[in-house]
Structure 1
Protein backbone atom coordinates (compact mmCIF):
# COMPACT_ATOMS: atom_id res chain seq x y z
CA UNK A 1 0.00 0.00 0.00
CA UNK A 2 2.81 2.42 0.91
CA UNK A 3 4.55 1.70 -2.39
CA UNK A 4 1.32 2.29 -4.35
CA UNK A 5 0.70 5.60 -2.58
CA UNK A 6 4.27 6.73 -3.25
CA UNK A 7 4.02 5.84 -6.94
CA UNK A 8 0.79 7.81 -7.32
CA UNK A 9 2.45 10.92 -5.86
CA UNK A 10 4.49 10.95 -9.10
CA UNK A 11 7.16 13.09 -7.47
CA UNK A 12 9.55 12.82 -10.48
CA UNK A 13 6.81 14.47 -12.58
CA UNK A 14 7.51 17.67 -10.63
CA UNK A 15 10.73 17.94 -12.65
CA UNK A 16 8.60 18.67 -15.74
CA UNK A 17 6.99 21.61 -13.89
CA UNK A 18 10.28 22.84 -12.40
CA UNK A 19 11.03 25.20 -15.36
CA UNK A 20 8.34 27.63 -14.15
CA UNK A 21 10.09 27.87 -10.78
CA UNK A 22 13.57 28.18 -12.30
CA UNK A 23 12.36 30.88 -14.70
CA UNK A 24 11.02 32.87 -11.74
CA UNK A 25 14.26 32.34 -9.81
CA UNK A 26 16.40 33.39 -12.77
CA UNK A 27 14.46 36.65 -13.08
CA UNK A 28 14.72 37.55 -9.38
CA UNK A 29 17.89 39.66 -8.89
CA UNK A 30 18.27 39.16 -5.12
CA UNK A 31 16.24 36.14 -3.98
CA UNK A 32 15.89 35.33 -0.30
CA UNK A 33 17.83 32.06 -0.10
CA UNK A 34 15.84 30.61 2.81
CA UNK A 35 12.48 31.39 1.20
CA UNK A 36 13.80 30.09 -2.13
CA UNK A 37 14.60 26.74 -0.53
CA UNK A 38 11.29 26.48 1.30
CA UNK A 39 9.20 27.45 -1.71
CA UNK A 40 11.01 24.85 -3.85
CA UNK A 41 10.29 22.10 -1.34
CA UNK A 42 6.70 23.13 -0.66
CA UNK A 43 5.66 23.49 -4.31
CA UNK A 44 7.45 20.50 -5.82
CA UNK A 45 7.49 17.96 -2.99
CA UNK A 46 4.17 18.76 -1.33
CA UNK A 47 1.76 20.81 -3.46
CA UNK A 48 2.24 19.07 -6.80
CA UNK A 49 2.37 15.50 -5.38
CA UNK A 50 -0.79 16.22 -3.36
CA UNK A 51 -2.53 17.28 -6.57
CA UNK A 52 -1.29 14.14 -8.35
CA UNK A 53 -2.51 11.90 -5.54
CA UNK A 54 -5.93 13.55 -5.39
CA UNK A 55 -6.32 13.24 -9.15
CA UNK A 56 -5.27 9.59 -9.14
CA UNK A 57 -7.66 8.72 -6.33
CA UNK A 58 -10.74 10.00 -8.15
CA UNK A 59 -9.68 8.97 -11.66
CA UNK A 60 -8.73 5.41 -10.69
CA UNK A 61 -6.86 5.08 -13.98
CA UNK A 62 -6.32 1.63 -15.42
CA UNK A 63 -4.37 2.89 -18.44
CA UNK A 64 -1.09 4.81 -18.50
CA UNK A 65 -0.81 8.16 -16.71
CA UNK A 66 2.10 10.55 -16.24
CA UNK A 67 5.26 8.45 -15.63
CA UNK A 68 3.16 5.40 -14.68
CA UNK A 69 2.71 3.07 -17.62
CA UNK A 70 0.81 0.60 -15.41
CA UNK A 71 -0.68 2.55 -12.47
CA UNK A 72 -1.20 0.53 -9.27
CA UNK A 73 -4.61 0.32 -7.56
CA UNK A 74 -5.67 3.28 -5.40
CA UNK A 75 -6.91 3.14 -1.81
CA UNK A 76 -8.32 5.50 0.79
CA UNK A 77 -4.77 6.03 2.10
CA UNK A 78 -3.97 7.88 -1.12
CA UNK A 79 -6.72 10.41 -0.43
CA UNK A 80 -5.55 10.85 3.18
CA UNK A 81 -2.00 11.40 1.92
CA UNK A 82 -3.15 14.08 -0.52
CA UNK A 83 -4.89 16.00 2.26
CA UNK A 84 -1.92 15.55 4.59
CA UNK A 85 0.52 16.97 2.04
CA UNK A 86 -1.74 19.98 1.38
CA UNK A 87 -2.05 20.71 5.10
CA UNK A 88 1.69 20.24 5.62
CA UNK A 89 2.44 22.66 2.76
CA UNK A 90 0.33 25.39 4.39
CA UNK A 91 1.74 24.69 7.86
CA UNK A 92 5.34 24.94 6.62
CA UNK A 93 4.60 28.14 4.70
CA UNK A 94 3.18 29.72 7.87
CA UNK A 95 6.00 28.37 10.03
CA UNK A 96 8.68 29.67 7.63
CA UNK A 97 7.06 33.13 7.55
CA UNK A 98 6.49 33.05 3.80
CA UNK A 99 3.67 35.58 3.96
CA UNK A 100 -0.05 35.68 3.31
CA UNK A 101 0.16 35.93 -0.53
CA UNK A 102 2.08 32.66 -0.78
CA UNK A 103 -0.25 30.91 1.68
CA UNK A 104 -3.22 32.12 -0.38
CA UNK A 105 -1.56 30.73 -3.50
CA UNK A 106 -1.28 27.32 -1.83
CA UNK A 107 -4.92 27.43 -0.73
CA UNK A 108 -6.19 28.51 -4.16
CA UNK A 109 -4.04 26.00 -6.05
CA UNK A 110 -5.06 23.18 -3.72
CA UNK A 111 -8.74 24.06 -4.03
CA UNK A 112 -8.63 24.21 -7.82
CA UNK A 113 -6.73 20.92 -8.06
CA UNK A 114 -9.46 19.26 -5.99
CA UNK A 115 -12.22 20.82 -8.10
CA UNK A 116 -10.38 19.50 -11.16
CA UNK A 117 -10.86 15.88 -10.07
CA UNK A 118 -13.70 15.68 -7.56
CA UNK A 119 -16.86 14.13 -9.06
CA UNK A 120 -19.12 16.86 -7.64
CA UNK A 121 -17.32 19.51 -9.75
CA UNK A 122 -14.82 17.70 -12.01
CA UNK A 123 -13.42 20.57 -14.02
CA UNK A 124 -11.57 17.93 -16.01
CA UNK A 125 -14.72 17.09 -17.95
CA UNK A 126 -14.96 20.66 -19.30
CA UNK A 127 -12.32 20.72 -22.05
CA UNK A 128 -11.78 24.45 -22.60
CA UNK A 129 -12.14 25.41 -18.95
CA UNK A 130 -9.76 22.72 -17.67
CA UNK A 131 -7.18 23.54 -20.38
CA UNK A 132 -7.39 27.25 -19.50
CA UNK A 133 -7.20 26.70 -15.73
CA UNK A 134 -4.32 24.21 -15.76
CA UNK A 135 -2.19 26.50 -17.94
CA UNK A 136 -3.07 29.56 -15.87
CA UNK A 137 -2.47 28.03 -12.43
CA UNK A 138 0.55 25.84 -13.15
CA UNK A 139 2.00 28.58 -15.32
CA UNK A 140 1.27 32.24 -14.62
CA UNK A 141 0.00 31.94 -11.05
CA UNK A 142 2.88 29.70 -9.95
CA UNK A 143 5.43 31.99 -11.63
CA UNK A 144 4.02 35.09 -9.96
CA UNK A 145 3.71 33.37 -6.57
CA UNK A 146 7.34 32.24 -6.78
CA UNK A 147 8.62 35.69 -7.79
CA UNK A 148 6.58 37.28 -5.01
CA UNK A 149 7.80 35.02 -2.22
CA UNK A 150 11.49 34.62 -3.09
CA UNK A 151 11.91 38.28 -4.07
CA UNK A 152 9.44 39.65 -1.49
CA UNK A 153 7.82 41.62 -4.31
CA UNK A 154 4.71 43.64 -3.37
CA UNK A 155 1.63 42.01 -4.88
CA UNK A 156 0.68 45.23 -6.73
CA UNK A 157 4.08 45.20 -8.50
CA UNK A 158 3.34 41.80 -10.03
CA UNK A 159 1.15 43.59 -12.58
CA UNK A 160 4.25 45.13 -14.19
CA UNK A 161 5.22 43.90 -17.64
CA UNK A 162 8.54 42.46 -16.48
CA UNK A 163 6.57 40.02 -14.30
CA UNK A 164 3.42 39.50 -16.38
CA UNK A 165 5.15 38.70 -19.68
CA UNK A 166 7.21 35.75 -18.39
CA UNK A 167 4.19 34.56 -16.41
CA UNK A 168 2.15 34.45 -19.63
CA UNK A 169 5.03 32.69 -21.43
CA UNK A 170 4.84 29.93 -18.80
CA UNK A 171 1.10 29.65 -19.35
CA UNK A 172 1.53 29.52 -23.13
CA UNK A 173 4.03 26.67 -22.77
CA UNK A 174 1.58 24.73 -20.63
CA UNK A 175 -1.31 25.40 -22.99
CA UNK A 176 0.90 23.76 -25.64
CA UNK A 177 2.13 20.82 -23.57
CA UNK A 178 -0.86 19.95 -21.38
CA UNK A 179 -3.09 18.61 -24.23
CA UNK A 180 -0.12 16.56 -25.47
CA UNK A 181 -0.15 14.74 -22.12
CA UNK A 182 -3.78 13.77 -22.81
CA UNK A 183 -3.28 12.59 -26.37
CA UNK A 184 -2.76 8.92 -25.49
CA UNK A 185 -5.62 8.80 -22.95
CA UNK A 186 -8.58 9.26 -25.29
CA UNK A 187 -9.99 5.77 -24.71
CA UNK A 188 -9.55 5.97 -20.93
CA UNK A 189 -11.13 9.43 -20.79
CA UNK A 190 -14.01 8.33 -23.02
CA UNK A 191 -14.67 5.38 -20.70
CA UNK A 192 -15.04 7.81 -17.77
CA UNK A 193 -17.06 10.29 -19.81
CA UNK A 194 -14.40 13.02 -19.66
CA UNK A 195 -14.25 15.18 -22.75
CA UNK A 196 -10.71 16.51 -22.39
CA UNK A 197 -9.30 19.27 -24.58
CA UNK A 198 -7.29 16.74 -26.58
CA UNK A 199 -10.36 14.56 -27.17
CA UNK A 200 -12.36 17.61 -28.21
CA UNK A 201 -9.90 18.81 -30.86
CA UNK A 202 -8.69 15.34 -31.85
CA UNK A 203 -5.12 14.12 -32.26
CA UNK A 204 -4.28 16.38 -35.26
CA UNK A 205 -5.83 19.35 -33.45
CA UNK A 206 -3.76 18.61 -30.34
CA UNK A 207 -0.55 18.90 -32.35
CA UNK A 208 -1.69 22.05 -34.14
CA UNK A 209 -2.57 23.60 -30.78
CA UNK A 210 0.91 22.74 -29.47
CA UNK A 211 2.57 24.26 -32.53
CA UNK A 212 0.54 27.46 -32.12
CA UNK A 213 1.34 27.98 -28.44
CA UNK A 214 4.97 26.94 -28.80
CA UNK A 215 5.22 29.70 -31.44
CA UNK A 216 3.54 32.21 -29.13
CA UNK A 217 5.91 31.21 -26.33
CA UNK A 218 8.94 31.84 -28.53
CA UNK A 219 7.51 35.21 -29.59
CA UNK A 220 7.06 35.98 -25.88
CA UNK A 221 10.66 35.03 -25.12
CA UNK A 222 11.82 37.19 -28.03
CA UNK A 223 9.92 40.22 -26.74
CA UNK A 224 10.84 39.66 -23.09
CA UNK A 225 14.59 39.19 -23.48
CA UNK A 226 14.96 42.01 -26.01
CA UNK A 227 12.97 44.33 -23.71
CA UNK A 228 14.07 43.32 -20.22
CA UNK A 229 17.10 41.08 -20.70
CA UNK A 230 19.70 40.23 -23.30
CA UNK A 231 19.62 38.89 -26.84
CA UNK A 232 22.31 36.41 -25.74
CA UNK A 233 19.62 34.59 -23.76
CA UNK A 234 17.77 33.89 -27.01
CA UNK A 235 20.85 32.12 -28.41
CA UNK A 236 20.99 29.86 -25.36
CA UNK A 237 17.23 29.27 -25.66
CA UNK A 238 17.57 28.08 -29.25
CA UNK A 239 20.48 25.77 -28.36
CA UNK A 240 18.60 24.23 -25.42
CA UNK A 241 15.20 23.97 -27.08
CA UNK A 242 16.29 23.02 -30.61
CA UNK A 243 16.29 19.26 -29.84
CA UNK A 244 12.85 19.58 -28.20
CA UNK A 245 11.31 21.21 -31.25
CA UNK A 246 13.05 18.71 -33.51
CA UNK A 247 11.53 15.80 -31.58
CA UNK A 248 8.12 17.47 -31.59
CA UNK A 249 8.33 17.83 -35.38
CA UNK A 250 9.41 14.20 -35.76
CA UNK A 251 6.60 12.96 -33.52
CA UNK A 252 4.02 15.05 -35.34
CA UNK A 253 5.19 13.63 -38.67
CA UNK A 254 4.93 9.99 -37.57
CA UNK A 255 1.50 10.64 -36.00
CA UNK A 256 0.25 12.02 -39.31
CA UNK A 257 1.13 8.65 -40.83
CA UNK A 258 -0.17 6.53 -37.95
CA UNK A 259 -2.26 7.98 -35.11
CA UNK A 260 -1.33 5.01 -32.90
CA UNK A 261 2.04 6.73 -32.50
CA UNK A 262 0.27 9.26 -30.25
CA UNK A 263 1.02 6.93 -27.37
CA UNK A 264 2.37 6.93 -23.81
CA UNK A 265 5.99 6.33 -24.75
CA UNK A 266 6.19 9.19 -27.23
CA UNK A 267 4.42 11.50 -24.79
CA UNK A 268 6.87 10.71 -22.00
CA UNK A 269 9.81 11.20 -24.34
CA UNK A 270 8.40 14.59 -25.32
CA UNK A 271 8.01 15.49 -21.65
CA UNK A 272 11.56 14.39 -20.90
CA UNK A 273 13.03 16.35 -23.82
CA UNK A 274 11.04 19.46 -22.90
CA UNK A 275 11.88 19.10 -19.21
CA UNK A 276 15.61 18.74 -19.87
CA UNK A 277 15.68 21.59 -22.39
CA UNK A 278 13.76 24.12 -20.29
CA UNK A 279 15.41 23.17 -16.99
CA UNK A 280 18.82 23.46 -18.62
CA UNK A 281 17.98 26.85 -20.12
CA UNK A 282 16.56 28.38 -16.95
CA UNK A 283 19.20 26.71 -14.81
CA UNK A 284 21.89 28.38 -16.93
CA UNK A 285 20.10 31.72 -16.55
CA UNK A 286 20.13 31.26 -12.78
CA UNK A 287 23.87 30.56 -12.77
CA UNK A 288 25.00 32.86 -15.57
CA UNK A 289 22.69 35.80 -16.36
CA UNK A 290 23.49 36.36 -20.07
Structure 2
Protein backbone atom coordinates (compact mmCIF):
# COMPACT_ATOMS: atom_id res chain seq x y z
CA UNK A 1 0.00 0.00 0.00
CA UNK A 2 2.83 2.40 0.85
CA UNK A 3 5.02 2.48 -2.26
CA UNK A 4 8.62 3.69 -2.15
CA UNK A 5 7.49 6.80 -4.04
CA UNK A 6 5.20 7.71 -1.14
CA UNK A 7 8.07 7.52 1.34
CA UNK A 8 10.16 9.78 -0.91
CA UNK A 9 7.44 12.42 -0.88
CA UNK A 10 7.60 12.62 2.92
CA UNK A 11 11.03 14.25 2.42
CA UNK A 12 12.14 13.47 5.97
CA UNK A 13 15.69 14.89 5.48
CA UNK A 14 14.08 18.25 4.61
CA UNK A 15 13.13 18.60 8.29
CA UNK A 16 16.78 19.43 8.92
CA UNK A 17 16.15 22.95 7.64
CA UNK A 18 13.55 23.61 10.36
CA UNK A 19 15.71 22.26 13.19
CA UNK A 20 17.11 25.70 14.17
CA UNK A 21 13.69 26.67 15.53
CA UNK A 22 13.65 23.59 17.75
CA UNK A 23 17.13 24.32 19.09
CA UNK A 24 16.23 27.98 19.67
CA UNK A 25 13.21 26.91 21.73
CA UNK A 26 15.35 24.35 23.54
CA UNK A 27 17.87 27.05 24.43
CA UNK A 28 15.21 29.18 26.12
CA UNK A 29 12.99 26.55 27.74
CA UNK A 30 13.32 26.49 31.55
CA UNK A 31 12.45 22.83 32.20
CA UNK A 32 14.78 20.41 30.42
CA UNK A 33 13.87 16.76 30.44
CA UNK A 34 15.52 14.12 28.26
CA UNK A 35 12.32 12.21 27.49
CA UNK A 36 10.40 15.35 26.49
CA UNK A 37 13.28 16.59 24.33
CA UNK A 38 13.27 13.31 22.41
CA UNK A 39 9.47 13.20 22.11
CA UNK A 40 9.21 16.76 20.78
CA UNK A 41 12.12 16.30 18.38
CA UNK A 42 10.75 13.07 16.91
CA UNK A 43 7.10 14.18 16.86
CA UNK A 44 7.94 17.36 14.95
CA UNK A 45 10.79 16.42 12.68
CA UNK A 46 10.20 12.75 11.92
CA UNK A 47 6.40 12.72 11.82
CA UNK A 48 4.61 16.11 11.74
CA UNK A 49 6.73 17.86 9.10
CA UNK A 50 7.00 14.77 6.84
CA UNK A 51 3.24 14.31 7.17
CA UNK A 52 2.74 17.89 5.97
CA UNK A 53 5.19 17.37 3.10
CA UNK A 54 3.47 14.21 1.91
CA UNK A 55 -0.06 15.55 2.25
CA UNK A 56 0.70 18.70 0.25
CA UNK A 57 2.64 16.72 -2.37
CA UNK A 58 -0.40 14.50 -2.85
CA UNK A 59 -2.63 17.44 -3.75
CA UNK A 60 0.01 19.46 -5.62
CA UNK A 61 1.00 16.55 -7.88
CA UNK A 62 4.19 18.38 -8.89
CA UNK A 63 5.91 17.18 -12.04
CA UNK A 64 9.06 19.29 -11.64
CA UNK A 65 11.51 19.77 -8.78
CA UNK A 66 10.21 20.57 -5.31
CA UNK A 67 12.07 21.20 -2.07
CA UNK A 68 14.11 18.08 -1.33
CA UNK A 69 13.16 16.19 -4.51
CA UNK A 70 14.82 16.97 -7.82
CA UNK A 71 12.57 14.55 -9.73
CA UNK A 72 9.42 13.90 -7.68
CA UNK A 73 7.78 10.55 -8.51
CA UNK A 74 4.10 10.37 -9.38
CA UNK A 75 1.89 10.43 -6.33
CA UNK A 76 -0.54 7.67 -5.38
CA UNK A 77 -3.42 7.28 -2.94
CA UNK A 78 -0.99 5.50 -0.64
CA UNK A 79 0.82 8.80 -0.08
CA UNK A 80 -2.40 10.37 1.19
CA UNK A 81 -2.92 7.62 3.77
CA UNK A 82 0.76 7.48 4.73
CA UNK A 83 0.74 11.22 5.48
CA UNK A 84 -2.31 10.75 7.71
CA UNK A 85 -0.65 7.86 9.56
CA UNK A 86 2.39 10.05 10.23
CA UNK A 87 0.08 12.85 11.37
CA UNK A 88 -1.71 10.55 13.81
CA UNK A 89 1.59 9.25 15.20
CA UNK A 90 2.84 12.81 15.82
CA UNK A 91 -0.33 13.66 17.75
CA UNK A 92 -0.12 10.45 19.78
CA UNK A 93 3.48 11.25 20.69
CA UNK A 94 2.45 14.75 21.68
CA UNK A 95 -0.28 13.35 23.91
CA UNK A 96 2.38 11.50 25.89
CA UNK A 97 3.59 14.94 27.04
CA UNK A 98 0.17 16.51 27.54
CA UNK A 99 -3.17 16.94 25.82
CA UNK A 100 -2.62 20.61 25.00
CA UNK A 101 0.63 19.94 23.18
CA UNK A 102 -1.17 17.27 21.16
CA UNK A 103 -3.83 19.84 20.14
CA UNK A 104 -1.06 22.21 19.03
CA UNK A 105 0.28 19.50 16.73
CA UNK A 106 -3.27 19.00 15.46
CA UNK A 107 -3.74 22.71 14.71
CA UNK A 108 -0.39 22.94 12.92
CA UNK A 109 -1.24 19.90 10.81
CA UNK A 110 -4.68 21.19 9.84
CA UNK A 111 -3.28 24.58 8.81
CA UNK A 112 -0.59 22.90 6.72
CA UNK A 113 -3.26 20.76 5.05
CA UNK A 114 -5.17 23.91 4.13
CA UNK A 115 -2.12 25.09 2.21
CA UNK A 116 -2.69 22.68 -0.69
CA UNK A 117 -6.13 21.12 -0.19
CA UNK A 118 -8.40 22.14 -3.10
CA UNK A 119 -11.25 23.19 -0.78
CA UNK A 120 -9.13 25.99 0.69
CA UNK A 121 -5.73 25.98 -1.06
CA UNK A 122 -4.03 28.86 0.70
CA UNK A 123 -1.25 28.51 -1.87
CA UNK A 124 -3.44 30.40 -4.35
CA UNK A 125 -3.30 33.57 -2.26
CA UNK A 126 0.17 35.13 -2.36
CA UNK A 127 0.26 37.29 0.76
CA UNK A 128 -2.04 35.12 2.86
CA UNK A 129 -0.03 31.95 2.21
CA UNK A 130 3.26 33.81 2.80
CA UNK A 131 2.05 35.20 6.11
CA UNK A 132 0.48 31.99 7.40
CA UNK A 133 3.40 29.75 6.33
CA UNK A 134 5.92 32.03 8.03
CA UNK A 135 3.77 32.45 11.12
CA UNK A 136 3.11 28.75 11.67
CA UNK A 137 6.53 27.39 10.68
CA UNK A 138 8.12 30.12 12.78
CA UNK A 139 6.35 31.62 15.80
CA UNK A 140 3.70 28.91 16.20
CA UNK A 141 6.29 26.13 15.94
CA UNK A 142 8.61 27.89 18.39
CA UNK A 143 5.84 28.31 20.97
CA UNK A 144 4.61 24.77 20.36
CA UNK A 145 8.10 23.32 20.83
CA UNK A 146 8.61 25.47 23.95
CA UNK A 147 5.33 24.18 25.40
CA UNK A 148 6.16 20.55 24.66
CA UNK A 149 9.71 20.81 25.97
CA UNK A 150 8.53 22.43 29.20
CA UNK A 151 5.29 20.43 29.65
CA UNK A 152 3.24 23.65 29.35
CA UNK A 153 0.00 24.40 27.51
CA UNK A 154 -1.54 27.07 25.30
CA UNK A 155 -0.76 29.78 27.85
CA UNK A 156 2.78 30.05 26.45
CA UNK A 157 1.36 31.83 23.39
CA UNK A 158 0.46 34.75 25.64
CA UNK A 159 3.87 35.01 27.30
CA UNK A 160 6.00 37.83 25.78
CA UNK A 161 9.27 36.05 26.64
CA UNK A 162 8.09 33.12 24.48
CA UNK A 163 6.16 34.91 21.74
CA UNK A 164 8.88 37.49 21.05
CA UNK A 165 11.69 35.08 20.09
CA UNK A 166 9.06 33.04 18.26
CA UNK A 167 8.18 36.05 16.11
CA UNK A 168 11.87 36.53 15.32
CA UNK A 169 11.88 33.10 13.68
CA UNK A 170 8.83 34.10 11.63
CA UNK A 171 10.61 37.25 10.41
CA UNK A 172 13.49 35.04 9.26
CA UNK A 173 11.13 32.68 7.43
CA UNK A 174 9.16 35.51 5.86
CA UNK A 175 12.44 36.49 4.21
CA UNK A 176 13.43 33.05 2.98
CA UNK A 177 9.99 31.68 2.05
CA UNK A 178 9.58 33.48 -1.32
CA UNK A 179 13.03 32.25 -2.38
CA UNK A 180 11.83 28.65 -2.10
CA UNK A 181 9.19 29.45 -4.76
CA UNK A 182 11.36 31.43 -7.15
CA UNK A 183 12.13 28.54 -9.52
CA UNK A 184 8.57 27.16 -9.58
CA UNK A 185 6.82 30.01 -11.40
CA UNK A 186 5.93 28.00 -14.49
CA UNK A 187 4.37 25.07 -12.64
CA UNK A 188 2.59 27.26 -10.09
CA UNK A 189 1.04 29.42 -12.79
CA UNK A 190 -0.20 26.30 -14.63
CA UNK A 191 -2.21 25.33 -11.55
CA UNK A 192 -3.43 28.86 -10.95
CA UNK A 193 -1.36 29.22 -7.76
CA UNK A 194 -0.33 32.86 -7.59
CA UNK A 195 2.51 32.53 -5.10
CA UNK A 196 4.16 35.59 -3.62
CA UNK A 197 7.32 34.96 -5.64
CA UNK A 198 5.29 34.70 -8.86
CA UNK A 199 3.55 37.97 -8.03
CA UNK A 200 6.81 39.76 -7.21
CA UNK A 201 8.77 38.37 -10.15
CA UNK A 202 12.30 36.98 -9.92
CA UNK A 203 14.12 40.26 -9.22
CA UNK A 204 11.32 41.45 -6.94
CA UNK A 205 11.60 38.22 -4.94
CA UNK A 206 15.29 38.79 -4.28
CA UNK A 207 14.76 42.42 -3.26
CA UNK A 208 11.84 41.46 -1.01
CA UNK A 209 13.90 38.76 0.70
CA UNK A 210 16.88 41.09 1.11
CA UNK A 211 14.73 43.58 3.04
CA UNK A 212 13.45 40.86 5.36
CA UNK A 213 16.94 39.42 5.87
CA UNK A 214 18.13 42.88 6.91
CA UNK A 215 15.20 43.17 9.32
CA UNK A 216 16.05 39.72 10.68
CA UNK A 217 19.61 40.79 11.43
CA UNK A 218 18.48 43.99 13.14
CA UNK A 219 15.86 42.27 15.32
CA UNK A 220 18.07 39.36 16.37
CA UNK A 221 20.83 41.84 17.20
CA UNK A 222 18.41 43.76 19.42
CA UNK A 223 17.25 40.50 21.06
CA UNK A 224 20.76 39.38 22.02
CA UNK A 225 21.89 42.84 23.09
CA UNK A 226 18.79 43.23 25.24
CA UNK A 227 19.79 40.00 27.01
CA UNK A 228 23.39 41.25 27.37
CA UNK A 229 24.59 38.37 25.19
CA UNK A 230 27.21 40.07 23.04
CA UNK A 231 28.92 36.76 22.29
CA UNK A 232 25.67 35.32 21.00
CA UNK A 233 25.17 38.37 18.79
CA UNK A 234 28.56 37.92 17.13
CA UNK A 235 27.92 34.20 16.80
CA UNK A 236 24.62 34.85 15.05
CA UNK A 237 26.17 37.39 12.69
CA UNK A 238 28.96 34.95 11.85
CA UNK A 239 26.39 32.24 11.13
CA UNK A 240 24.47 34.59 8.84
CA UNK A 241 27.60 35.72 6.96
CA UNK A 242 27.87 32.71 4.58
CA UNK A 243 24.11 32.87 4.01
CA UNK A 244 24.21 36.55 3.06
CA UNK A 245 27.30 36.11 0.87
CA UNK A 246 25.70 33.21 -1.01
CA UNK A 247 22.48 35.21 -1.40
CA UNK A 248 24.37 38.19 -2.87
CA UNK A 249 26.32 36.02 -5.34
CA UNK A 250 23.14 34.23 -6.36
CA UNK A 251 21.28 37.52 -6.83
CA UNK A 252 24.12 38.83 -9.01
CA UNK A 253 24.02 35.84 -11.34
CA UNK A 254 20.22 35.65 -11.31
CA UNK A 255 19.98 39.20 -12.63
CA UNK A 256 22.38 38.36 -15.46
CA UNK A 257 20.81 35.07 -16.55
CA UNK A 258 17.67 34.02 -14.60
CA UNK A 259 17.04 30.98 -16.81
CA UNK A 260 20.43 29.54 -15.90
CA UNK A 261 20.73 30.49 -12.24
CA UNK A 262 17.19 30.53 -10.86
CA UNK A 263 16.71 26.80 -10.43
CA UNK A 264 16.41 23.93 -7.97
CA UNK A 265 20.16 23.58 -7.36
CA UNK A 266 20.67 27.20 -6.33
CA UNK A 267 17.66 27.13 -4.01
CA UNK A 268 18.74 23.89 -2.36
CA UNK A 269 22.27 25.18 -1.77
CA UNK A 270 20.74 28.26 -0.14
CA UNK A 271 18.79 25.90 2.13
CA UNK A 272 21.83 23.77 2.90
CA UNK A 273 24.08 26.68 3.78
CA UNK A 274 21.51 28.46 5.93
CA UNK A 275 20.35 25.21 7.55
CA UNK A 276 23.87 24.12 8.46
CA UNK A 277 25.00 27.55 9.69
CA UNK A 278 21.91 28.19 11.80
CA UNK A 279 21.81 24.69 13.26
CA UNK A 280 25.43 25.03 14.37
CA UNK A 281 24.73 28.44 15.91
CA UNK A 282 21.55 27.48 17.76
CA UNK A 283 23.08 24.25 19.09
CA UNK A 284 25.97 26.33 20.41
CA UNK A 285 23.50 28.89 21.79
CA UNK A 286 21.58 26.13 23.57
CA UNK A 287 24.77 24.82 25.18
CA UNK A 288 25.95 28.32 26.08
CA UNK A 289 22.63 29.72 27.30
CA UNK A 290 21.80 26.72 29.47
CA UNK A 291 25.44 26.25 30.63
CA UNK A 292 24.96 22.51 30.28
CA UNK A 293 28.61 21.93 29.41
CA UNK A 294 29.66 23.61 32.64
CA UNK A 295 27.34 21.35 34.66
CA UNK A 296 28.74 18.26 32.98
Range class of TM-score, shorter chain: over 0.9
Q: Partners of 1:110 and 1:193 in 2: how far apart? A: 24
Q: In the superposition, relative to structure 1, how do residues 154 and 113 fare at CA in structure 2: closer, same or farther (>3 Å)? A: closer
Q: Partners of 1:160 and 1:226 in 2: how far apart? A: 20
Output the TM-score relative to the length of structure 2.
0.94
Partner residue, 2:119: 120
TM-superposed CA distance for 1:154, in Å, is: 5.6
Output the TM-score relative to the length of structure 1.
0.95
Out of 28-37 and 193-202, give the one that drifted further: 28-37
* Counterpart mapping for 1:150-169 below 5 A: 150-153=149-152, 155-169=154-168
Partner residue, 1:175: 174
TM-superposed CA distance for 1:91, in Å, is: 1.6
Q: How many residues align?
A: 288
- Gaps in structure 2 of 5+ consecutive residues: 292-296
TM-superposed CA distance for 1:100, in Å, is: 2.7
Partner residue, 1:270: 270
* Deviation readout 1:124-180 (Å, 9 max, x if unpaired): 111111000000000000001111121234643543332222111110111111110
TM-superposed CA distance for 1:212, in Å, is: 1.3
* Deviation readout 1:54-94 (Å, 9 max, x if unpaired): 11111111010011111111100000001111111112222
Partner residue, 1:15: 16
Partner residue, 1:281: 281
Q: In the superposition, relative to structure 1, how do residues 284 and 252 fare at CA in structure 2: closer, same or farther (>3 Å)? A: same
Partner residue, 1:148: 147
Q: Partners of 1:229 and 1:23 in 2: how far apart? A: 17
Partner residue, 2:294: none
Partner residue, 1:196: 195
Out of 20-29 and 268-277, give the one that drifted further: 20-29
TM-superposed CA distance for 1:101, in Å, is: 2.5
Q: Partners of 2:153 and 2:83 in 1: how far apart? A: 31
Partner residue, 2:39: 38
Over the aligned positions, Cα root-mean-square deviation in angstroms equals: 1.4
SS at match of 1:288: helix
Q: Partners of 1:126 and 1:19 in 2: how far apart? A: 27
8 A contact 2:100–2:153 mirrored in 1: no
Partner residue, 1:68: 69
Partner residue, 1:4: 5
8 A contact 1:162–1:228 mirrored in 2: no
TM-superposed CA distance for 1:33, in Å, is: 1.9
